[in-house]
Amino acid sequence: MEKISIRPDRPQAIFFCLLFLVFSLSGCSPAAKSSASRPASGKQAAASSKDKDEQEMAEQIIGDPTFGITAEYFRKTKSSGSKIRLFGSSKREKELEKRLAKLEQRLKGLPERATDIHGLPVLRRKVVLISLLGDLGLDVLSLLPAALRRTDGIVPVDSNELAFLLKKHGYTVADLASASVRREIAAIAGIQAYIFVYFPQGNAATAKGERSALRLDVIHATENVLIGSYLATISQFDKVAKKISKDIVRGTEWSCRIVKVEDGHVYLNSGRLTGLQPGDKLNVYSRGKEIIDPITRHSLGYGLGSLKGTIEVEQLFGTDASKARIIAGSGFTTTDVVKMAELAE
């Protein structure tokens, strides 16, 4: 028989140790087996059935080397579909449970959830950077997006993708100075905020701009509302990016757009980078009418139309796209608005 060796530094070793503990606690010990010759009561018959199910699961793992052994295996009770908790209810044990859940996600190749200021899971917001710095803007537009990507809540839209999108609709980057153009592009690309970067009045640039404080104004993508305004030098981008991320997550609601409907499935312009995962459920709404403030005559954005149905994410693909199956409703179009209904566990 081939000898199976397990390196102690691998996560699988922990799982096998836990497996032994689970089997021991559930009565799969040699002592429990010795009583198999006695007449089986109802409880004993149920336990025997459970033992058989667990044995089948173990044989499936042994017989299929591609079967991943994760904590889900230990939580699962095959016969009832219920789950058990690996750890207890203390603060330390709950933290271990969360850490193990994150490890499972990494082992599956899925993105980790971003979290808000309260530690609750959120989906990352897409933002567009607009530089008003002239030639210095080339440096800013390479360093600031990198700092934003290192935060939990932000996905900067690629400048080439933005330029292509604007050109397709007959616009240039300069046209984003218009609130109406920003709203239109935001609706098309699922953008939640715009970040304008410029020199504050009376603050002259140095040769490279490292010591000059820059002003960063964050504008809501559809409501033309100032979410936040910040002063920072290039060397402070990492610090200010964390503040910007928290404020954008707090001040905006996540949404995305359907890009294609085909054979009972819809394709979305959000996926891995955004933080979507298979099993996430999303609601699909028709696009409502534009709301105009009767006094200022300024647009307040578009209202939400009627609920058209619900979809469930099945597959992530590309850099930031996903495929979802339709589980309720019909008549979905590429003008519909998609919002979160329920995050998968």
Say if domain 122-251 classifies as CATH 3.40.630.10: no
Closest to 138 measured CA to CA, from 209, 200, 193? 209
**Alpha helices, H only, 26-67:** 30-34, 42-63
Check residue 336 and give its pLDDT: 87
Q: What is the DSSP letter of 135?
A: G
| 3-class DSSP state of 336 | coil
Q: Where are the domains of the chain?
A: 11-107, 122-251, 256-342
Check residue 326 and give its pLDDT: 94
Check residue 87 and give its pLDDT: 66
> Which residues, including other chains, have CB under 8 Å from residue 51's CB and lie 6 or more apart?
26, 27, 28
Phi/psi region, residue 170 (left: phi>0; alpha: psi -120 to 50; beta: rest), is left
Q: What is the DSSP string of 240-267?
A: HHHHHHHHHHHH----EEEEEEETTEEE
Closest to 276 measured CA to CA, from 202, 186, 338? 338
User: What angle do helix axes 159-168 and 179-189 make, rounded to 10 degrees?
Assistant: 110
Check residue 142 and give its pLDDT: 78
Closest to 249 measured CA to CA, from 128, 151, 161? 151
Check residue 199 and give its pLDDT: 86
> Which residues, including other chains, have CB under 8 Å from residue 60's CB and lie 6 or more apart?
67
Count CA atoms within 13 Å of residue 166 on its CB side.
Answer: 19
Alpha carbon distances (Å) from 41 to 36, 38, 45, 77? 11, 9, 6, 21
Q: Contact 307/285 with Cβ under 8 angstroms?
A: yes
What CATH architecture does domain 256-342 belong to? Beta Barrel (2.40)
pLDDT per residue, tens digit, the chain (345 aa), is: 444 444 444 445 445 554 444 444 444 444 444 444 455 566 666 667 666 766 666 565 555 544 455 555 555 554 555 555 666 777 777 777 777 666 665 555 555 666 666 666 778 999 998 888 876 666 677 788 889 888 878 888 888 888 888 998 899 888 888 888 888 888 888 899 999 998 887 555 544 445 578 899 999 988 878 999 999 988 889 899 999 999 998 889 888 889 899 888 999 989 988 889 888 999 999 887 777 878 877 776 677 788 999 999 999 988 889 999 999 998 999 888 899 888 776
**Alpha helices, H only, 64-111:** 71-75, 91-107
Q: Contact 107/12 with Cβ under 8 angstroms?
A: no
Check residue 65 and give its pLDDT: 47
Q: Contact 291/224 with Cβ under 8 angstroms?
A: no
Taking the CA atoms of residue 50, residue 52, residue 54 and residue 55 in that order, the dihedral angle to the nearest 10 degrees is 160
